[in-house]
Amino acid sequence: MLPSQRHQVILHRVAAQPAVTIRELTTSLGVSRETVRKDIEQLAAENRLLQVRGGATRILTAEPPSQMRAATNREGKARIAAHVAGLIADGASLFIDNGSTTLAVALAIAQRRLGLIVYTNDLKIAEILAPAAREVTVLGGRLDPAETATFGIETLEHLARYRAEYALIGAGGISARALFTDFSREAAEMRLRMMRQTEEALILTDSSKFGEVGQVVLGPLPKGARMITDMAPPEEIAAALNAASVGVDVASAESE
């Protein structure tokens, strides 16, 4: 089998499942581990997949539709939401960006907290938090109807006027090699700006995002950033988070 043919097989496998191992590919391709490793290295250099220890994983170029994301791991997102709601005090100021996990957090906070000062680019989240807020600022800019949220240079310019105690942001995926990634430069820049203009940056990442990789790296992260998740991350991801000095809170069922 020619190298180009092996590459197509590897890319097809990676597209069909979240990750593929060198052992699996060695068996199916009938070549040595070293050959498979070199193939993966070449494809990774071409940004066609992400090389990880023992194999490869796909690079996602688009996020699933919002309705599909909302239906994924609802129990885990509910645990994250309850945990975060316990961290936020009445009267706190916060940035909160758009996403299915941040939406779950907004619902939990609205039931427990009062007098909040909220800055968000998400119209649904603004509506949910309005009854619990002293003030809600919707960041202006270009509306993305699919996300019911604003993006673009105008949104970033509006955001630049404010600071907050907390930033509650999501991420497209998290992996050991790339850490937090996203699906667009606009979304990544929005989240980074929120984290850099806050006292405490909380990255809300449910376990369905483990091993997922978007095409835009979210970084460099501000000092003291923490990840809030519903399950302990795999060993490789945990080691990468520790090396990057990113703390991890695992929300327990008792938080709900």
User: Domain 66-255 carries which CATH code?
Assistant: 3.40.50.1360
What is the fold, at CATH topology level, of the domain defined by 3-57?
Arc Repressor Mutant, subunit A (1.10.10)
DSSP string, 109-120: HHHH--SEEEEE
What mean pLDDT, rounded, does the chain reach?
Answer: 89
Percent of residues, the chain, with pLDDT higher than 70: 93
pLDDT score, position 254: 57
**Span 121-168, pLDDT tens digits:** 999 999 999 999 999 999 999 999 988 999 999 999 999 999 999 999
Give the range among 3-7, 94-98, 114-118, 187-191 with minimum mean pLDDT: 3-7
At 53 the pLDDT is 76
Q: Which amino acid is at 166?
A: Y
Higher pLDDT, 34 or 16: 34
Predicted confidence band of residue 253 (pLDDT cuts 50, 70, 90): low
Do 77 and 69 touch, CB atoms closer than 8 A?
no
d(CA 203, CA 180): 9
Model-level pTM? Answer: 0.77
Q: Tokens representing 227? A: 């990840």
Domain residue spans of the chain: 3-57, 66-255
Q: How confident is the model at residue 200 (pLDDT cuts 50, 70, 90)?
A: very high
The reported pLDDT for the residue numbered 113 is 87
Cα 129 off chain centre by: 22
Query: What is the distance between the alpha carbons of residues 84 and 90, in angstroms, rounded to a whole number?
Result: 13
Cβ atoms within 10 Å, residue 229: 26
Residue 86 has pLDDT above 80, yes or no: yes
Beta bridge partners of 56: 20, 51
CA distance 188 to 204: 14
Q: How far apart are CA 58 and CA 45, in angstroms?
A: 13
